[in-house]
Amino acid sequence: MSTVNPATRLGDLVRHRVPAQPAGPQPPRSPAVSLRGAGVRVGSRTLWSGVDLEVGAGEFVAVLGPNGVGKSTLIKMLLGILPPAAGEVRVLGEAPGRAGHRVGYLPQRRNFDASLRIRGTDIVRLGLDGDRWGVPLPVPARFSARRREARDRIAEVVELVGASAYAHRPIGECSGGEQQRLLIAQALVRDPELLLLDEPLDSLDLSHQGAVAALIGRICREAGVSVVMVAHDVNPILAWLDRVVYIAEGGAVAGSPQDVITTQTLSRLYGVPVEVLRTSDGRLVVVGQPEAPALHTDRHVEGGGT
Ligand SMILES: Nc1ncnc2c1ncn2[C@@H]1O[C@H](COP(=O)(O)OP(=O)(O)OP(=O)(O)O)[C@@H](O)[C@H]1O
Ligand SMILES: [Mg+2]
């Protein structure tokens, strides 16, 4: 395990931008994400519509909801992979996809074959090369300054996420938690202003969930990076959250966790009785939240939208 305290390196992370707490008045940063009456369709099905959401610069927002409701689809829309079916969507003040170099992305369901020989640092380098799925091309010797700069930046983010001890090992030999940290380093390597993270705590045990949540929370708070994170369990990130978006079949509600994760709001959103319980240690348990039906037939039905 690395002994580096990530707190000491957060300043390095934002070297290209305004410090998180600058002296004197600063021009307002445009919202990281803004949705007005947004809707999305896959095939002939409308997943959700009429969604209003604003993620301020430097805010940490969680996207919650049952399986299949369209959380990953929201992230893909913000990346510009899927166009909105309705409404207005802006990402860092631009149309989705236009601010790609200012956005870091961690896709859902990342698994590396145990026999994969590519090293952790090469995985991080893919974020720098802008080609996450290919094999990094060697930089010709005449660009040695650029090569050195890239190597330094990779080492910097690897250290930031506490992965120095295993980053040179083949990724297939790293544990799920170690792979996750390296992928977060990949998302961070281009010094993004906005992180879009699709279930980064997936497949981690409780203590690693807490550690990765704290890492992301501190990158947000101390480096001023805006975070939109899809999560299945809000509890590991509750302490860091500014806002949550709860997506149900058809629509969504956004607001503070205290306002949204309540018996009343979730029952109204889902249209069935849902109970929110708070345990003695402050964890939230949502009881009776319906799972979205696996609507496979509706993809073949014309006009089957909601
Ligand atoms: N390209 C596509 N064509 C048709 N249907 C799609 C496509 N992509 C996604 N879907 C469907 O859209 C729905 C929402 O998918 P999405 O991946 O956004 O769900 P999710 O909320 O992220 O679920 P999970 O919690 O399981 O990750 C699912 O029913 C999925 O099968
Ligand atoms: Mg998903």
Q: Quick count: other Cβ atoms within 10 Å of Cβ 60?
A: 24
Mutate which of 73, 245, 291, 300 to test ligand 1's pocket (most atoms within 8 Å of Cβ)? 73
Question: Closest-lying ligand to the alpha carbon of 73?
Answer: 1
pLDDT per position as a tens digit, 59-105: 999 999 888 899 999 999 999 999 999 999 999 999 999 988 899 99
Q: Are strands 86-91 and 33-42 parallel, antiparallel or unpaired?
A: antiparallel
Structure tokens, 183: 């992928």
pLDDT per position as a tens digit, 50-59: 999 999 999 9
CATH code linked to domain 50-99+193-306: 3.40.50.300
Structure tokens, 12: 């390095």
Mutate which of 42, 75, 109, 234 to test ligand 1's pocket (most atoms within 8 Å of Cβ)? 42
| Burial tier of 245 (Cβ tally within 10 Å: 0-12, 13-18, 19+) | buried
Residue intervals in the chain for CATH 3.40.50.300: 50-99+193-306
Q: How far, in Å, CA of 32 to CA of 175, rounded?
A: 32
Alpha-carbon separation of residue 261 from 33, 222, 255, 278 (angstroms): 21, 26, 9, 10
Q: Are 213 and 240 in contact (CB under 8 A)?
A: yes
Ligand 2 midpoint to CA 102 (Å) = 22
Q: What is the pTM for the complete model shown?
A: 0.83
pLDDT per position as a tens digit, 258-289: 888 899 998 888 888 888 888 888 888 888 77
